[in-house]
Structure 1
């Protein structure tokens, strides 16, 4: 039986973002929870589900849910901690919806906090995978995406300036977002002049590293209609994973991402033409190009041309990452993409609001391209 529109996101909360000296993963998670609770109009005792992502700097690791729950004073019926990098936020929202639909919980808080900018977080491939690719210098997420970008350029003729279109669009949207970390507009020339990180990726092709916290509350749809905020339905959900990376010739293209989006479309009963606004996971600018192809907005190899001419900016055919994304708003490993999707469906984004937006696609990816998920949010 389809879960279309049976659950809703009823509360979202985000702390200040950027460099926050003195904050910890735990204090940021707690602050975000309080903000989401206030946003929803629920009381703490209403929350009977707690799912967490410990981020890079929480010392408890997989026991993070215990520490967060203890600090919040919550004894949930349904709980746990998951780690899928940038795919975690979407996966936890899906897990929350499954628990609610099964009668295991009523209101589930999905919570994230991290002090990666000031707490020494390390972003690289998990160790202990046998002969690590690090022995020949393949040591970072930037390296993976640089290979993807180089291969896309070689096969399809994609250019660095087209990657720059993504960075410029995200920064323009961030300039309209008072909570964004990077708000000064940039040009294609600024992008081209920024230093190399891993060729062909410039500095402005790469996401930020940030301190911050985010909380997303999921509830049953029929309860959402009596709560504080306009209803935002979880209309479609999809996940896909691969445990093989370098062993597969097309690993760089992350084809499993298409499967995740297609599953979400199928559940929601929509297609790419129905999407009014998209929040596409952008750890690097090339990631957005892949998502545009996997989401069916253009054919394989056509995303470079697709992003030209302001097509993904506000007022364009498909506004993308309307709060600035990981590239300019803040790097919260995809959590803020869901928050922005919810706010767009509520019509609460002010200057950056997409007119008459009713359906939003949100995507996430993580763990060295292994994990992908997608959500279709619908105005209730």
Structure 2
């Protein structure tokens, strides 16, 4: 058995309101999320001796975010730092926290994120690639990257825009059952098809939101967790993968390193795709989700388009995904809320959107021009 399997647990999760929150800052949102998480865990602030943070897009202090957040929280951590891997950060910080707790370098590690991207006017519209390297070709922003993925998948495998729409409609359907989601108005495939192009073949409704909000996740050992408020949620498996290559690798659009991250998480947890009861798959764009089905071994390469049809990925289906609405409809917290929903599903707290009998959850993340990827397997203790 892998020596890190089931050796750490998530004991507290907290999320602020989501959406446009005028008057809030990344710092006030981070503090509020932290308060909610320690409250959720039944811990006192003084017990938190580890702090891992991600700076918001509008956080002026950037990589010094951990100092600023620690100061605002009034804690002097033994173990701390700030990571920025875009949408790959939440999962990587969770893993960093697990390593620290397992190594005895901290007892309770809080992973914290706050952002005011919506009110701060952040558009995620910089040139893709390193620096301005792709901007000279008019290749701007994350949407450009993922549009290439979508168009290539369509060209090779016959995938359709309506199949991408199935993912968007599913996430919206799940968000409609989540009182905390920003986008709760039901959506049809026709609504998806009629929404304006952002970068062909991606419509507006293929793209994630831009949101204000804060999220916090607290990690400790299973032994300490047993004395706390909630059923045990174990981190059973972890995987990370990175690539420094983009356009010089003709398969970059398929981000093959993501499969390595998922496989490592499966191997550590001792599970496979058939064991996953619910999945929170990083959905900055609908096309991203298609690839996770293939990388996760839920279907063969090129078959994810048909895989999403017929309600298979909805609540009640074979593999329910993004049960809170995901980045597409719940809120864009760069994947942080995917972990929160995974924990809540394992605890059985999700009410009408609860996956019955769910015991194993896959959570994925990806970011930074698609160079970073990770996967975590959560298990009911």
- Shorter-chain-normalised TM-score: which range? over 0.9
1:345-360 to structure 2, matched below 5 A, reads 345-360=346-361
Match of 1:307 in 2: 308
How far apart are residue 124 of structure 1 and its match? 4.3
Would the alpha carbon gap of residues 45 and 11 (structure 1) be closer, same or farther in structure 2, given more than 3 Å must change?
same
- Equivalent residue, structure 1, for 2:261: 260
Give the equivalent residue in structure 2 for 1:372: 373
- Where 1:308 maps in the other structure, the secondary structure is coil
Q: TM-score, normalised by structure 1?
A: 0.99
* CA distance in 1: counterparts of 2:317 and 2:251, whole angstroms: 31
Deviates more, 1:323-332 or 1:118-127: 118-127
Q: Distance in 1 between matches of 2:325 and 2:130?
A: 34
In structure 2, stretches of 5+ residues that fail to align are none
Alignment of 1:41-190 (within 5 A): 41-124=42-125, 129=130, 132-190=133-191
Superposition pairs of residues 190-209 of structure 1, within 5 angstroms:
190-209=191-210
Residue 291 of structure 2 is aligned to residue 286 of structure 1: no
Offset of 1:52 from its aligned partner? 0.3
Counterpart mapping for 1:323-338 below 5 A? 323-338=324-339
Unaligned runs of 5+ in 1: none
1:125 Cα deviation (Å)?
5.2
Pairing 1:248–2:222 present? no
**Deviation sequence 1:146-201 (CA, Å, 0-9, x none):** 00000000000000000000000000000000000000111101100000000000
Distance 2:84 2:123 in 1: 14
Shift of the alpha carbon at 1:127?
A: 8.3
Query: How far does residue 121 in structure 1 lie from its aligned partner after superposition?
Result: 2.1
Task: Within 5 Å, give how 1:207-226 maps onto structure 2.
Answer: 207-226=208-227
Deviation readout 1:308-365 (Å, 9 max, x if unpaired)? 0010000000000000000000000000000000000000000000000000000000
1:42-95 deviation digits (Å, cap 9, x = unpaired): 100000000000020111100000000001100000000000000000000000
CA distance in 1, matches of 2:282, 2:130: 25
Q: TM-score, normalised by structure 2?
A: 0.98
Give the conservation status (yes or no) of the 8 Å contact 1:56–1:122: no
**Runs of 4+ displaced beyond 3 Å:** 124-131
Equivalence for 1:297: 298
User: What is the deviation of 1:120?
Assistant: 2.3
Q: Secondary structure at the match of 1:214?
A: strand
RMSD, aligned α-carbons:
1.1
How far off its partner does 1:129 sit?
3.2
Q: 1:212 to 1:130 in 2, by over 3 A?
A: closer
Q: Tell me the CA shift for residue 139 of structure 1.
A: 1.1
1:225 is displaced (CA, Å) by 1.1
